[in-house]
């Protein structure tokens, strides 16, 4: 009996010491559950999830510290390389942020909350610009995926920034310089397009409208800026042959493609489809901008809006840029979708001489 009692007491002591729990009744004695809170007070403060979060915060802080040291070293010893590195990092950050914004906008459209023509101007512009940037950025992103491949990207950024990179990866000085170069390239097609438009005017059967179109072309070719009323006076000609988008000559379509920074090296019927799609997109963008109001644009947004529509506003004052954009919207707001060809021609008609000759832009 004494042996059994001592054995029972020892088992009870071992159970309490080891913290084993049981819900069974052994030899008429019930062993009560012992929780982690009663036997290990530290468990209340250090759970596995909190430990993981603590380790994650520690690792993150150390990585940030190492990155800050690395950037400081580059800034002191290799300032030009640091500028490329900083532009590279910020460019990817902005690109991923744009991707998140575009995904949010498309989800909103997918669930029927809003249709594309009813989007806010900034959302519509974000979709348009991201689609064009993504086509050019995909090769860069693929190159940067393998380990240490970002150094190859740095070389590309250094030697071929304008040809291979999107504006996200341009320095502020490069953005100004490259916009100027692109605009000079675009301005080379103003005169050829106006000459083609003048030649096409001879095929217009309405003599009154034919005379108005010839006078408009002659005025722009002589170096003057046309009035909004003079442009709108011939808008009826651009809804049918020979000036509607799908009836333009191949040379006219290729000149307009160059004004929109689209490749002209495609078959004529494909160029016509692309021009019509881009023209309608630009018309919807103008309508969204009219709803917002040009005065609501920041300086950078104003310069970008003017650049998309045909002029380089970096060399213009804010008032000049807003005045030109206001005239453009006056024309655009009066046009129907069937007259989108006139809107495409306005890239040359309204931009060729504003505020001076193209060579002085």
Predicted confidence at residue 159, as pLDDT, reads 84
33-88 pLDDT tens trace: 434 444 444 444 445 666 666 776 767 676 667 667 666 666 667 677 777 777 88
Q: Which two tokens stand for residue 111?
A: 């669930």
CB-based contact 350:310 (threshold 8 Å): yes
Indicate whether 13 pLDDT > 60: no
Radius of gyration, alpha carbons of the chain: 34
What is each CA distance from 267 to 80, 192, 271, 272, 357, in whole angstroms?
A: 44, 20, 6, 9, 32
pLDDT higher at 11 or 228: 228
Least confident of 33-42, 262-271, 319-328: 33-42
Query: Mean pLDDT, the chain, as a whole number?
Result: 82
Q: Cis bond leading into 355, ω under 30°?
A: yes
Share of residues in the chain with pLDDT > 70 (%): 77
Mean pLDDT of all residues in 176-195: 95
Q: What is the pLDDT of residue 12?
A: 38
Residue that wins the pLDDT comparison between 294 and 156? 294
Q: What is the mean pLDDT of residues 320-334?
A: 96
Say whether pLDDT at 320 is over 80.
yes
pTM for this one? 0.76
Name the one residue in this structure whose structure tokens are 């071992």.
Answer: 14
Per-residue pLDDT tens over the stretch 120-129: 999 999 999 9
With left for phi above 0 and alpha for psi between -120 and 50, is residue 310 left, alpha or beta? left
Place of tokens 């002209």: 264
């Amino acid at each position: 009996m004494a042996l059994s009692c001592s054995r029972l007491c020892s088992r009870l002591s071992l159970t309490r010491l080891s913290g084993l729990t049981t819900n069974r009744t052994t030899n008429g004695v019930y062993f009560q559950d012992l929780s982690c809170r009663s036997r290990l007070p530290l468990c209340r403060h250090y759970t596995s999830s909190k430990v993981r979060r603590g380790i994650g915060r520690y690792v993150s802080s150390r990585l940030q510290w190492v990155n800050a040291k690395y950037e400081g070293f580059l800034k002191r010893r290799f300032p030009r390389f640091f500028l490329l590195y900083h532009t590279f990092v910020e460019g990817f950050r902005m690109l991923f942020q744009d991707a998140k914004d575009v995904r949010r906008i498309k989800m909103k459209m997918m669930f029927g909350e809003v249709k594309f023509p009813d989007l806010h101007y900034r959302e519509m512009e974000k979709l348009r610009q991201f689609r064009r940037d993504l086509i050019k950025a995909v090769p860069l992103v693929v190159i940067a995926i393998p380990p240490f491949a970002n150094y190859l990207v740095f070389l590309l950024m250094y030697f071929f920034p304008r040809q291979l990179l999107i504006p996200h990866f341009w320095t502020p000085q490069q953005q100004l310089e490259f916009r100027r170069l692109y605009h000079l390239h675009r301005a080379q097609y103003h005169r050829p397009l106006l000459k083609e438009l003048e030649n096409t005017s001879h095929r217009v059967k309405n003599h009154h409208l034919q005379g108005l179109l010839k006078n408009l072309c002659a005025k722009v070719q002589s170096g003057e800026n046309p009035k909004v009323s003079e442009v709108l006076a011939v808008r009826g000609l651009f809804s049918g042959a020979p000036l509607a988008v799908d009836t333009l000559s191949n040379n006219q379509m290729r000149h307009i493609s160059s004004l929109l920074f689209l490749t002209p090296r495609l078959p004529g019927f494909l160029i016509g489809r692309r021009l019509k799609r881009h023209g309608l997109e630009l018309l919807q963008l103008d309508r969204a901008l009219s709803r917002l109001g040009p005065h609501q644009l920041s300086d950078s947004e104003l310069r970008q809006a003017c650049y998309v529509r045909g002029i380089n506003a970096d060399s213009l004052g804010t008032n000049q840029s807003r005045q030109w954009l206001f005239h453009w919207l006056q024309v655009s707001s009066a046009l129907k979708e069937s007259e989108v060809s006139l809107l495409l021609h306005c890239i040359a008609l309204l931009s060729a001489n504003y505020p001076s000759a193209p060579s002085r832009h």
